[in-house]
Amino acid sequence: MNIKSLLLGSAAALAVVSGAQAADAVVAAEPEPMEYVKVCDAYGTGFFYIPGTETCLKIGGQFRFEKRFSKVDNFNSSYSQWSRARIEIEAKNDSEWGTVYSWVRFQGSHINNIGGTTGVYDATETAIGHTHDNTTTEFFYYFGIGGLEFGRFDSPSIRFMGYGGVTDWGGDYANDWDRQYVSYTANFGSASVFVSLDHDASNGFIQGHKYMPDVSAGAKGTFGDYTVAAMLGYDESAESLAVKAKVNGSIGMFGFAVMGLYADDAANSYFSYDGFSIIAGVSAKVTDTITLYKDFQYWDNDDWRVIGEVGWAVAPGFSVLLQGSYGDGVMAGGDKVKTGMIRFQRSF
């Protein structure tokens, strides 16, 4: 055997050993592609797809601080501080039966009150007098498919009508902010109708039958920049009927709302007054960031209240609201009632 044969044989042996070792080597797997959150524009702004699903999610919230003032005729003035923190989560997805949707709100509120109640409340607050610090937590929700909805929130009749006037107060037009209900809404292009069975507000302890619901139904249509709506509400416990009709819309820089109301018993939860009332409101967007609002309400017992506001959109998600009101009569909270409020709010 010569030197050349020995070298060739050694090289071949090394090649075989190296090949066997290479076959046994661990090869790192390619990383799975990362699934980024995608924007969902099917249901408006703010929604995104939950990764791996066709469900769209939206998360929002609010922080609020208010300083309030109230004076009734010759009584002492009242000052109070209100604050609130809120989180809302909304989810939607399509189905052959229509949109499947859900919404939930968690919020906590604190009132630091000196000397009584302030007398003016927004569309999600109840007129309760406080003489000391008070903290509350609240939970609201609704969910449904297509036009069928279940929930615990403001009665569908209030939401269907678009609440009341144009201010944060909006007028005195209902007492059913927190109701459990089942409702159905049918849409026909620019027109829609609804019917709702609401949990009996009195629970049957005052009168009536606690297992029988309150019932409301209504219809509305949109004609260009204007919307016309009407509803009927029957309070089972009070055995009382309420009727409401509303027209609202916009003309250039101005917005307006006019609502007529009637109930035949002050215990009616859809309108807590025995008689007629009217709410008229107008707003004006004077600059890109400043809007003026005014509501006036008159009851057929000659009680009345007027309220004005200046809203300033300081920056995206941050606003200031200045409010003042004057009223006279029981429905206005007393004789010569004056109120004021400044609010700072962060929304997202």
Burial classification of residue 251, based on how many CB atoms lie within 10 Å of its CB (0-12 exposed, 13-18 middle, 19 or more buried):
exposed
DSSP calls for 281-311: EEEEE-SSSEEEEEEEEEETTS-EEEEEEEE
pLDDT of residue 125: 43
CB crowding 214-248: b at 16 or more within 10 Å, else e: bbbbbebeeeeeebebbbebbbbbbebbbbbbbeb
- CB of 242 closer than 8 Å to CB of 263: yes
Q: Are 159 and 140 in contact (CB under 8 A)?
A: no
Domain boundaries, the chain: 54-347
CATH classification code of 54-347: 2.40.160.10
pLDDT at 316 over 90: yes
* CA angle at 129 for the pair 106 and 344, rounded to the nearest 5°: 50
Q: Which of 150, 135, 65 is nearest to 104 (CA)?
A: 150
The closest of 135, 147, 77 to 107, measured between CA atoms, is 135
What is the rounded distance in angstroms from the CA atom of residue 33 to the CA atom of residue 31? 6
pLDDT of residue 177: 84
Average of pLDDT values for 203-221? Answer: 76
Give the pLDDT score at 112: 87
Q: Choose among 321, 327, 316: nearest CA to 342.
A: 321
Name which of 54-63, 101-110, 173-182 the model is least confident about. 173-182
Model pLDDT for residues 244-285, shown as the tens digit of each residue: 999 999 999 999 999 999 999 999 999 999 999 999 999 999
Amino acid in position 44: G
Residue-wise pLDDT for 5-26, tens only, equals 544 455 445 444 455 444 455 6
Q: Rounded to an integer, what distance in angstroms lies between the CA atom of residue 248 and that of residue 260?
A: 12
Provide the whole-model pTM. 0.82
- pLDDT tier, 225 (very low <50, low <70, confident <90, very high otherwise): very high
Q: How confident is the model at residue 203 (pLDDT cuts 50, 70, 90)?
A: very low
48-102 residue pLDDT tens: 999 989 999 999 999 999 999 999 887 778 889 999 999 999 999 999 999 999 9
Across-strand partners of 248?
227, 257
Cα→Cα distances 233→142, 222, 256, 259, 331, Å: 20, 22, 24, 15, 21
170 to 62, 83, 132, 297: CA distances (angstroms): 20, 20, 27, 9
Tell me which residue of 133, 140, 139, 181 sits closest to 160, measured CA to CA.
181
